[in-house]
Every structure is written in C-alpha cells, then in structure tokens.
Amino acid sequence: MDKRLPDLASAVAPITDGSVIMIGGFGSSGIPFGLIDALLEQGARGLTVISNNAGAQETGIAKLLKEGRLAKVVCSYPRSPGSIWFERRYEAGEIELEVVPQGTLAERIRAAGAGIGGFLTPTGYGTLLAEGKETRVIDGRGYVMESPLHADFALLRAENGDKWGNLNYHATARNFNPVMACAARHSIAEVRHLSDEPIDPERVVTPGIFVHSVVEYGVRP
Amino acid sequence: MRNLTDTELAARVAQDIPDGSYVNLGIGKPTHVSGYVPEGREVIYHAENGIIGVGPTPAEGEEDLELIDASKRYVTPAPGAAYFEHADSFAMMRGGHIDIAVLGAYQVAQNGDIANWATLDNTFPPAVGGAMDLVVGVPTILVMMRHINRDGSPKLLRECTYPLTGLGVVSRVYTDLAVLDITPAGFKLVELTAGNTLDEVQALTEAKIHT
C-alpha cells in the first residue's frame, strides 16, 4: 500500500464541481494552504465548504470566496478579523451560510465518521439555532437532535505522514483535522514531512485507514 | 462616573478565580484575565482550538504560527499543557470538565440569559463559535463587558432583545461600573467601582439592581 502522491495537483484532481469539502484548521493554524491553492488552480466551483472559519485576508478559504468558487459555507465563526471576502459575499447575498455551534460542528463531523445517525446535545437548546429541530427533555434538561455531517472530500494539514496515510500534528494545528479525516468519503492530507519510514504507532494520531492520499508540502505558513 | 479600564476589569475578574481552576477565556476582553492571576494561584487555561495549559505570549521572533489560542493570538504551552483535537476539546467544555468560563456579551438579562453571537442586523454575519457549548457545559459563567453600549443604550436588561446564546446561565457580570450577581430576584449588587453611586449605575441599567 502506498498513499503518497507526487504533487498537490494530483491530490485535488478528483474534486468535482458541487462537491462538499471539509477543510481543517482554526484561524490560520492547521489549514491546508497548499491543497487550497491547488484546488483554486484546479478550478472546481459551486463548492460547499465545511470549516470552522471562512478565511481571512486573501489566504485559504478567503481566496476561494474571492474567486467565487463557493456556493455555501458551513462554519461556527465566519466573522474573524480580516474576513473581508466572506463579509463581502454575504452582504451581497452571494453565499449561503449555515452557522453551527463549534462543538456541534465537531460532533456532527465525528458522528458522520463514526457511523452515528444523530445525537442529542444541550447546546443551542431554546435558541434560534435549534429552531425547526427535534428536541427532547431528559431528566429535566432540554436537548437538540443534531444530524451527522458528511463530506465528499476532506482537505487536511498534518505535520508528519507516512505511505500508509498515518498522520500526526503539530501543536494547535490538530484542531478539526482528525475528525474531518474520518468523515469524508475521500480524505487528502498535506504534510510537512512525508516519510519513507512508518510513523511510530505510538505517535500516530490519525490512523491511515481514514486517509486516502498524502502529499508533501513542506511550507508551514 | 468612574470606569474601570479593560485591564483593571480583567484584574478584578482574576481575583474571583480560585486556585486550581480550569478556565476557558472567551475572545476579546476576557483573554486579558490570564495576565492578572494573583500570586500563589495556579489556574489552567483551556483554549477551544485544542490546548489546555495556555501559557504566556512568546517573545518576539519566537512565535510558532501553529500554536495559537481561540483569539488567534500566538501563545506558549504552560508546564503540564496538552494538545488535542476538536471533539475532545468540546467534550471538556460540554461535558462539564471546565470549571469557569469568562465571556463577553452584547446583552445580559436579569434572569441570566446571555446574547453574544448575533445582532438584529441581517447584513452582519452571525458568529457563534464555542459560546453555546460553553454556556450549557460550564457550571460557572462569568460575563465581562462594558456596562452600556457606545450609543449609551443599556446592556443589562429585563429581557434580551438579541438572539440568545444561553438561557439562565450567567452567574455574575463584571462591568466597568459594577459587579452584579444573577439571583432568583434578578441583578444583585456585589460592588460598585469606587467613586460611583448606586443611583448613577441604576440609571444606566434597564433592569432593577437589588441590594
């Protein structure tokens, strides 16, 4: 088995127009900037992106927004310092937004990867974000029924990878990357170091079974 | 009127955080609280993006671009820190493992309702982040904010007018003018910023302040 690919372009080649894509990262940490640039180059449009933020300045997801490639963003915190392209598209009504509480976003992604059909969370109960959703009261406490969030592709950023697709991460660049790896039909990781040697099993954070291709992209933003 | 500065307010909040607490600081003003922990206390800070044991800001030139807190500021790991992924991070928050959260807010109501994620302006994108998870999972929710809006309108209300983040979850509110507890009767005065009178502060508060 060898999941290594020679370059970013071949890694994003399978992505088609209208795909639902999870993109790891929080702020500027753990974002697969190399894969996003390659996706931009590749040209797919009408995409739905699931990610915590909606990009800042003209980097990462903001570039995809600037070039009009996205139809919808699912995220917890689209409004960050410098999120000008999201704000511009949103104000112009050019982008659909689904705001999900961050823990619910992580858990919906986790549920998809773990084969869970839905779950009850107290988060958002009684608020606007629970409107129209099934609710239940258990032992006097209100819960909202949330559904799994699947994707066609996940774009991930990791520190180390091996040819089996095993990954580990650096510091707070881990964030959404491990849960997203499990939830997409096809997960693509850019890694800072791609090794011929297997990663020590004790140091694997994302087992390779969740990862479909790995490509080296040494630059750390 | 005597208004505490943001750093004076952060120092005031820090006084009320006991030794040994696990604490989540919301983005904005609450992040300053970590700089004012009284001598002799060890407080462990959680950042939702995957670190528990958030340490001080790194020296200039020593920043690690992949080591940030929830406000996207560069940080360092404190002794005993750990990194983890998002589902684990929110298990800490929603699962009741964090002791105290300090949040900013647009509005707080006398029954402990908090609104801090969306306004009534439809052109302004809402952004909830981890706030709704914190308010359901963390037993003590402290709010730190200005007493009134820039236009002079009150933020301490009988009922919130903005969409709610959580219902009846706030324990205490720290403003530049006063510290108030949420009680079954409503807002109860804990202290006034020295130099202010209750009448002055009440005039800037929509809800009744009980003494």
Q: Do B130 and A103 touch (CB under 8 A)?
A: yes
Q: Return the closest-CA partner of residue B134 out of B69, B89, B184, B172.
A: B89
Q: Determine the pLDDT at residue A80.
A: 80
Q: Determine the pLDDT at residue B1.
A: 85
> Closest Cα of chain B to A166: distance in Å?
16
pLDDT digits (tens, 9 = 90+) for A115-140: 999 999 999 999 999 999 999 999 99
> Does residue A54 register a pLDDT over 70?
yes
A84 touching B (Cβ < 8 Å): no
Q: Determine the pLDDT at residue A176.
A: 98
Give the H or E element holding residue A188.
strand A184-195
What are the residues facing B51 on neighbouring strands?
B47, B83
Q: Do B66 and A171 touch (CB under 8 A)?
A: yes
Mean pLDDT value across residues A75-89: 90
Q: Determine the pLDDT at residue A221.
A: 54
Q: Determine the pLDDT at residue B106.
A: 96
Structure tokens at B149: 């809006």
Q: Determine the pLDDT at residue B28.
A: 85
Average pLDDT of every residue of chain A: 96
What are the residues facing A216 on neighbouring strands?
A191
Gap between the Cα atoms of A30 and A171, Å rounded: 9
ipTM for the complex?
0.95
pLDDT digits (tens, 9 = 90+) for B39-94: 999 999 999 999 999 999 999 999 999 999 999 999 999 999 999 999 999 999 99
Q: Return the closest-CA partner of residue A74 out of A155, A134, A131, A20.
A: A20
pLDDT digits (tens, 9 = 90+) for A12-43: 999 999 999 999 999 889 999 999 999 999 99
Q: Determine the pLDDT at residue A220.
A: 62
Q: Determine the pLDDT at residue B125.
A: 85
3-state secondary structure chain B: CCCCCHHHHHHHHHHCCCCCCEEEECCCHHHHHHHHCCCCCCCEEEECCCEEEECCCCCCCCCCCCCECCCCCECCEEEEEEECCHHHHHHHHHCCCCCEEEECCCEEECCCCEECCCCCCCCCCCCCCCHHHHHHHCCEEEEECCCECCCCCECEECCCCCCCCECCCEEEEECCCEEEEEECCEEEEEEECCCCCHHHHHHCCCCCEEC
Which residue do the tokens 């995409």 mark? A47
Q: One of B8, B39, B42, B48 is an active-site residue; which one?
A: B48
Q: Do B49 and A123 touch (CB under 8 A)?
A: no
Mean pLDDT value across residues A52-63: 92
Minimum-distance CB partner of A103 among B83, B93, B126: B93
Mean pLDDT value across residues A65-75: 97
Minimum-distance CB partner of A102 among B85, B90, B164: B90
C-beta neighbour count of B7 within 10 angstroms: 13
C-alpha angle A39-A161-B46 in degrees, rounded to nearest 5: 90
Q: Do B66 and A30 touch (CB under 8 A)?
A: yes
Minimum-distance CB partner of A172 among B66, B130, B132: B66
Structure tokens at A22: 């999870």
B42 catalytic? Reply is no
Which class would CATH give B6-210?
A: alpha beta
> Closest Cα of chain B to A154: distance in Å?
15
pLDDT-derived band at A180 (thresholds 50, 70, 90) equals very high
Gap between the Cα atoms of A170 and A180, Å rounded: 16
CA dist A210 → A164, A185, A214, B86, B143 (Å): 10, 9, 11, 17, 40
> Closest Cα of chain B to A109: distance in Å?
9
Domain residue ranges in chain B: 6-210
> Does residue A218 register a pLDDT over 90?
no
Q: Do B128 and A220 touch (CB under 8 A)?
A: no
Q: Determine the pLDDT at residue A57.
A: 87
What are the residues facing A187 on neighbouring strands?
A154
Gap between the Cα atoms of A56 and B170, Å rounded: 32
CA dist B66 → A25, A27, A106, B28, B111 (Å): 10, 9, 19, 20, 40
Gap between the Cα atoms of B164 and B157, Å rounded: 13
Which residue ranges in chain B fall short of pLDDT 70?
A: none
A8-120+148-216 CATH fold: Glutaconate Coenzyme A-transferase (3.40.1080)
Q: Do A102 and B72 touch (CB under 8 A)?
A: no
Domain residue ranges in chain A: 8-120+148-216
Residues in chain B closer than 8 A to A205 (CB atoms): 85
Q: Determine the pLDDT at residue B123.
A: 81
